[in-house]
C-alpha cells in the first residue's frame, strides 16, 4: 500500500488508550481552556484521525508563513496550507504550558484536545493578509474562505496536541466517518492495491458516477474511495446526511459489489481552490489511495479560480516527488445526446453546448423543490428521489 505523506506510518494524534484518555480528561479540568473556532476544531479532528500525518500539532507563525509562501514548513516538509490554532485573545492562557481546547460545535463545549504550548505569537495585519493572499489567491472579503480565515484572530498558539474525541463526527455520522487508519485497514481487508479517491461535498449525479468509473478503468484500480466532507460548508449546500443517503443508494444500485467504499471525514471546507486541491490529495494519500480525481474548479467558489487551476498547480508549483499519490485529471463531465453516454467534454470536440444535458445548480434545486423529475441522463431516479424529498421538506 502507498506510504503516508512524509512518514513510513500514520501518526494519528487521538489517544487510543482509554485509561490515558480518562486521565487526560481529568487533567483538562484543571487547565486553562479556550473555546477554539470551528476551523481549529476540524484541524484537531484531522490531526487526531491521522489525515494530517506527519504533523504533530498546530504550526508556529514561521511555519504558517513558510507554508503560505512556498508550501513547505521551516524544516522542509511539503505542506500546502497552514494548520493553525488562531484566537482573537490569548490572555486567558497566561504562562501556562498546557491548555484544554474546547469544542465550539458540541453543546457544552467539551474538551476536544490538550495542547502543549510551544509559542503564542501575534501575527501582524500584513502577515495575515499575505498568508490569505498566498493560500486563497485573494483577500476579497466576499470570498467565504478568505474572509473566514481573516476573522479567526491574530494570535497563533502552536504546539503538539493530544486529541480526546472526534467532535460530533463520530456520533452524527456513525458508519460514515472514518479515520485514515480505518480506511487503510478496510482497503487492506478488501485486498485492494490500486485505489482511486473521489472528493465530494455534494450529492453525486450521473456525471460524477461515470467519472469515478472512467478513472477506475483508466488506472486499472481495484476500487474507489468516495470520500465525503462532513464538516462546515457554505449556506445552501446540501446537508451531509442527505448526501450520504443519496451516494449510498447510487453505489448500491449502480456499482458492482466490493468496488466502492463510501466514507467521510471531519473537516471544514476551506474553498481555497488549488491549494486545497493539493491538501485533498495529501488526505487521500494518507488514507491509502494511489490516485486522486481532480476535476473542473476543484474546491473552488465563485469565479476566483480558473477552471483547471487545481490541476495546474501540480505541474507549476508542487515539486517533483513532494507527494506520492497520482492525480487523475478530469474535465467537466456530462451526458452527450449525440453519443448517448456520459463523456468528458474534452473528448467530444465536435459537440456544442446544446449537445450535452446540462443543468445549473439553481435549476436542479428549483425542479426538485417543485417535484419535477430530473432528466434520467442527468441524475439516477433513485438519487433524485432522495434529493427531491429533502428539497420539498424545506420549502
CA distance 257 to 249: 13
Q: Which of 21, 190, 201, 296 is catalytic?
A: 201
The answer to whether the CB of 299 falls within 8 A of the CB of 278 is no
Q: Which of 130, 193, 202, 312 is catalytic?
A: 202
Q: Is 260 helix (H, G, I), strand (E, B) or coil?
A: strand
CA distance 111 to 24: 10
The answer to whether the CB of 10 falls within 8 A of the CB of 286 is yes
395 is catalytic: no
Helices 381-393 and 361-369 sit at what angle, rounded to 10 degrees?
A: 70
CA distance 32 to 125: 27
75 is catalytic: no
The answer to whether the CB of 184 falls within 8 A of the CB of 10 is yes
CA distance 111 to 34: 9
CA distance 313 to 282: 14
CA distance 62 to 121: 10
Catalytic residue ranges: 201-202
Amino acid at each position: 500500500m502507498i506510504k503516508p505523506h512524509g512518514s513510513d506510518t500514520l501518526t494519528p494524534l487521538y489517544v487510543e488508550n482509554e485509561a490515558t484518555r480518562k486521565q487526560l480528561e481529568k487533567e483538562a479540568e484543571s487547565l486553562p481552556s479556550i473555546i477554539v473556532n470551528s476551523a481549529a476544531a476540524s484541524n484537531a479532528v484531522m490531526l487526531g484521525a491521522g489525515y494530517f500525518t506527519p504533523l504533530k500539532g498546530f504550526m508556529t507563525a514561521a511555519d504558517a508563513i513558510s507554508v503560505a509562501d512556498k508550501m513547505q514548513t521551516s524544516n522542509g516538509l511539503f505542506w500546502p496550507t497552514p494548520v493553525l490554532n488562531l484566537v482573537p485573545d490569548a490572555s486567558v492562557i497566561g504562562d501556562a504550558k498546557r491548555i484544554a481546547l474546547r469544542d465550539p460545535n458540541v453543546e457544552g463545549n467539551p474538551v476536544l484536545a490538550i495542547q502543549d504550548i510551544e509559542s503564542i505569537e501575534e501575527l501582524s495585519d500584513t502577515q495575515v493578509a499575505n498568508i490569505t493572499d498566498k493560500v486563497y489567491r485573494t483577500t476579497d472579503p466576499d470570498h467565504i474562505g478568505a474572509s473566514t480565515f481573516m476573522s479567526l484572530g491574530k494570535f497563533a498558539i502552536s504546539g503538539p496536541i493530544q486529541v480526546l474525541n472526534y467532535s460530533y463526527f463520530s456520533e452524527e455520522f456513525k458508519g460514515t466517518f472514518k479515520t485514515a487508519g480505518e480506511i487503510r485497514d478496510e482497503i487492506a481487508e478488501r485486498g485492494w492495491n490500486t485505489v482511486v479517491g473521489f472528493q465530494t461535498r455534494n450529492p453525486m449525479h450521473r456525471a460524477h458516477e461515470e467519472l469515478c468509473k472512467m478513472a477506475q478503468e483508466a488506472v486499472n484500480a481495484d476500487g474507489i474511495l468516495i470520500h465525503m466532507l462532513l464538516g462546515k460548508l457554505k449556506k445552501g449546500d446540501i446537508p451531509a446526511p442527505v448526501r450520504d443517503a443519496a451516494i449510498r443508494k447510487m453505489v448500491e444500485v449502480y456499482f458492482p459489489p466490493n468496488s466502492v467504499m463510501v466514507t467521510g471525514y471531519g473537516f471544514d471546507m476551506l474553498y481555497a481552490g488549488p491549494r486545497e486541491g493539493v491538501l485533498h490529495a495529501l488526505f487521500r494519500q494518507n488514507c491509502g489511495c494511489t490516485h486522486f480525481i481532480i476535476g473542473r474548479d476543484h474546491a473552488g467558489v465563485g469565479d476566483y479560480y480558473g477552471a483547471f487551476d487545481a490541476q495546474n498547480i501540480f505541474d507549476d508549483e508542487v515539486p517533483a516527488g513532494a507527494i506520492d499519490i497520482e492525480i487523475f485529471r478530469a474535465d467537466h463531465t456530462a451526458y452527450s445526446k449525440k453519443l448517448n453516454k456520459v463523456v468528458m467534454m474534452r473528448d467530444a470536440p465536435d459537440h456544442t453546448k446544446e449537445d450535452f444535458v446540462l443543468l445549473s445548480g439553481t435549476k436542479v434545486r428549483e425542479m426538485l423543490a417543485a417535484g419535477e423529475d430530473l432528466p434520467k441522463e442527468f441524475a439516477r431516479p433513485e438519487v433524485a428521489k432522495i434529493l427531491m424529498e429533502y428539497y420539498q421538506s424545506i420549502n
